[in-house]
Structures are given as C-alpha cells and as structure tokens.
C-alpha cells in the first residue's frame, strides 16, 4: 500500500446491550388467593349481607306475623265458643194431639213431649232447647248459618255451640229452632198443621220483611 493511504479498520458490530428482563408483574388478586390456598391459609369469610326490602327474610317474617295473627284469632274464637252455655236438644220436641196436630211446649211440660217435628220450608228437623229462650237480636240469618243439620253429623257439635250463643237461660221457656224459623215458648202453642202457624209474637220465620211469617212445622214420623 502506498503512503498516505488510510487503512480501514474492519467494521465492528455495535455493542449489544444485554437483554433486560421485564419488570416483575405485581401479583394479581387471583395469584394471592391461589398462594394463600397453597399455604393452607383460610380465606376470610364474606360479611353477611343485611336483609333488605326485597330479601326473602322479610317476606318470611311477614308470613310468620300473619300466621301468628290467624292463630290468635282462632284461639280467641275457640275460647269464645267454649264459654257459651251449650244446651242439648231434647229427643222429642212437641206434644202430639192426634190427627197430625201438635203443641209446642215450655219447660214445665218437658216430660209430656212425645213427637218430633220437621220444617217443610227448609227441610231441617225442628230442635227444642229446654230451659232457654232466644235473645231479642236473633234472626233468620243466625238460624240459617248455625242451626245444626242432622244430615251433616260431623258439624253438629260445632254448629250447636255457635247457635247457643244467642240463648238466654229461662227455667220456664223452651227455645225452638230450624234452618229458617225460631220460637220461644212458655206454656203451650198449637201448630196449625200444613197451612202454617203465625210465628209472631213468639219468634220469627224466614226474612223479617215477609208479610206472613209462618211456621211450616209438621209432625215427623221418621
């Protein structure tokens, strides 16, 4: 090579910087939970959520309160019924006179009654409750709702107890009832047969606004 000629140095590759490792990632919540599980640590229990207006607990409490109210009402009703003076009906209810006629009798003639009566209006057998008379406020609806029906023996005792809530003790009288009519008799009252007998002034028959309140009670041979 001649003088003055520069000598080229071979091109060196640039210094390579060492590859930097990525910064460690912060542990995620999932990793923390997994690590805690590996170490046997117990995870914190979630706090119980307070019951809100739409939670089932409130609905359940409402149902419980309702059930308690119904139970209290039923208990009060049972106590009221149990306090009633229940009078058992006599077997026979009237004094038969022959020819199908009969007399309604007060308690002084208890031993003389020898016939049964039925009502051709409602189909009920007539009941006679000795030593009793009806309270002034008894009416047709009371008879219709609570007079026991011999065709439903399962309800007899319950209905009789409710019916007797309108009875007043009276040693001389006898209270008569069917599903539509009632009487309070002291002494005797003759029945008029198939044509009917005026219910007044000893009681009533059917609705109060009926022009002719007649007892349709006849001697029953069954």
Our count of domains for the chain comes to 1
* Burial of 96 from C-beta contacts in 10 A (0-12 / 13-18 / 19+): middle
**Residue 119 domain-assigned?**
yes
Segment among 61-75, 101-115, 208-222 with least mean pLDDT: 61-75
- The boundaries of the domain holding residue 189 are 94-220
In this structure, what are the phi and psi dihedrals at residue 152, rounded to the nearest 5 degrees?
A: -125, 75
Answer yes or no: is 154 within a domain: yes
Q: Is residue 77 part of a domain?
A: no
- Greater model confidence, 142 or 196: 142
Query: In which band, very low, low, confident or very high, does the pLDDT at 156 lie, cut at 50, 70 and 90?
Result: very high
Q: Give the separation between CA 186 and CA 172, rounded to whole angstroms.
A: 6
The verdict on residue 151 lying in a domain is: yes
- How far apart, in whole angstroms, are the C-alpha atoms of residue 189 and residue 201? 11
């Amino acid at each position: 090579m001649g003088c003055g000629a520069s000598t080229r140095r071979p091109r060196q590759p640039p210094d390579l910087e060492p590859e930097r490792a990525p910064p460690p990632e912060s542990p995620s919540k999932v990793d923390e939970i997994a690590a805690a599980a590996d170490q046997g640590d117990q995870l914190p229990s979630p706090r119980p959520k307070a019951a809100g207006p739409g939670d089932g607990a409130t609905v359940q409490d409402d149902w419980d309160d309702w059930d308690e109210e119904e139970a209290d009402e039923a208990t009060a009703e049972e106590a009221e019924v149990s306090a009633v003076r229940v009078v058992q009906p006599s077997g026979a209810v009237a004094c038969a006179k022959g020819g199908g006629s009969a007399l309604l009798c007060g308690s002084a003639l208890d031993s003389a009654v020898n016939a049964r009566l039925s009502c051709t209006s409602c189909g009920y057998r007539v009941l006679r409750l000795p030593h009793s008379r009806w309270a002034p406020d008894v009416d047709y609806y009371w008879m219709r709702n609570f007079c026991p029906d011999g065709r439903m023996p399962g309800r007899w005792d319950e209905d009789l107890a409710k019916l007797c809530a309108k009875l007043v003790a009276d040693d001389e009288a006898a209270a008569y009832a069917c599903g539509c009519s009632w009487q309070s008799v002291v002494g005797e009252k003759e029945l008029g047969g198939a044509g009917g007998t005026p219910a007044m002034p000893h009681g009533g028959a059917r609705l109060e606004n009926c022009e002719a309140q007649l007892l349709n009670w006849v001697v029953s041979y069954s």
